[in-house]
Amino acid sequence: MKNLSALLILVMGFVHAQKLTANERSIINQGDVNTALPIYQTTDSHQHKTLLSLSTEADPLDPNTAVLVKRMKESLLSTDGGVGIAAPQVGINRRIIWVQRFDKEGAPLEYFINPVIVWKSDLQNLGPEGDLSIPDFRDQFYRSKVIQLEYVDLKGQKYSEIVEGFTAVIFQHEIDHLFGILISDKKEKEKNDSYKRVDAYQKSDLNRR
């Protein structure tokens, strides 16, 4: 009975931790809820602090979460060619992202709640990245070529899938946002890292085929 009580306390604490604060609800529901939310910028000190903060899990069944998801999409659509956005970029430190799925026909935009990368390939690609929240910044970054992703939708349904290529890069970039990691800081931290170039198709392998 004691263990059951402790478990219930832990569960209740987890549920409570997911509840949106009054300030978060105010931001989500400001103005016309059918319009885009402003995208936070590193050039503003208050907004920069939000972008550097760790995001917590969102409650997919909270009606405010659905409003946030919808407005985040509008925010992404309002940009000039943006391919992804994370909730911290509209001022909400919750684990929600939108990603353009270039790995699917028509390259649709899709949302992901509480996304977690449970596996990354050692094989990496080097490619250019920019950020909607960092004006005039673009650089080259290494990202895993393939990832395994787990997430839920607005009904609380759980999913797991393998993603690769450029879409996997977008996922990694947006999920970094949920940990308060910006590509400008990432570049600074990784400037002394060294990478060994790997030929994925060695001649010896080809000879065995």
The dihedral built from the CA positions of residue 132, 133, 139 and 140, taken in this order, carries a sign that is negative
Of the candidates 105, 129, 174, 188, the residue annotated as catalytic is: 174
Beta bridge partners of 94: 56
Distance in angstroms (rounded) separating the CA atoms of residues 84 and 100: 6
Query: Two tokens at 47?
Result: 């907004």
DSSP E strands in 50-195: the ranges are: 84-86, 96-100, 109-120, 124-130, 138-144, 146-152, 158-164
The residues that bridge with 124 in the sheet, in sequence order, are 144
**What is the C-alpha to C-alpha distance for residues 137 and 172, in angstroms, rounded to an integer?**
18
Let me know if 180 is exposed, middle or buried by CB neighbors in 10 A (0-12, 13-18, 19+): middle
Cα torsion through 122, 128, 130, 135, rounded to 10: 140
Q: Report the C-alpha gap between 13 and 32 in whole angstroms.
A: 33
Told to judge if 164 belongs to the known catalytic residues of this protein, a careful annotator would answer no
Return the active site residues.
Answer: 174
